[in-house]
Structure 1
Amino acid sequence: MKFVLYRDKRGEYRWRLVASNGKIIATSSEGYKDKRDCQAMIDAIRKNGSATMVVDEVAAK
């Protein structure tokens, strides 16, 4: 997998998480005016991603 940092139509920075098969599996929910802010979010996801909780809403019903 890889993160792809790009500019959207409004000129803001965004990221995509792309699987090894080329499919986009996650995208930023907002644009960032400063490239450093976008990169900081990528870094935070990479650092804290393994500690992310999974909530199974299907099993809870």
Structure 2
Amino acid sequence: MSVSYYNLYQDSQRLWRWKYVASNGKTIAVSSESYYNKGDAEHGINLVKNSKLDPVV
């Protein structure tokens, strides 16, 4: 069984970004901005996780 997850990574400019990958392996959401600090990107993920629209249950 596949599991949906958030992927935190550095882009080609070494800035932090995240994406949400569904259980079928397709990316269905991405961060709308890059972050200089990893903690800021993690905070962005937590904002989505704590919203009522969070795709991960």
Instruction: Give yes or no for TM over 0.5.
Output: yes
Larger radius of gyration: 1
Q: For residue 17 of structure 1, what is the aligned residue in structure 2?
A: 20
C-alpha separation in 1, matches of 2:10 and 2:39: 13
Consecutive unaligned residues in structure 1, runs of 5 or more: 53-61
**Higher RCO (C-alpha 8 Å, min separation 6):** 2
C-alpha separation in 2, matches of 1:17 and 1:6: 11
**Quick check: 1:26 aligned with 2:29?**
yes
Structure 1 runs of 4+ with >6 Å offset: none
Deviations 1:9-33 (A, max 9, x none): 0000000000001100010111000
SS in 2 for 1:14: strand
More helix, by proportion = 1
Instruction: State the aligned residue count.
Output: 51
Aligned-pair CA distance for 1:51: 5.1
C-alpha separation in 1, matches of 2:24 and 2:32: 22
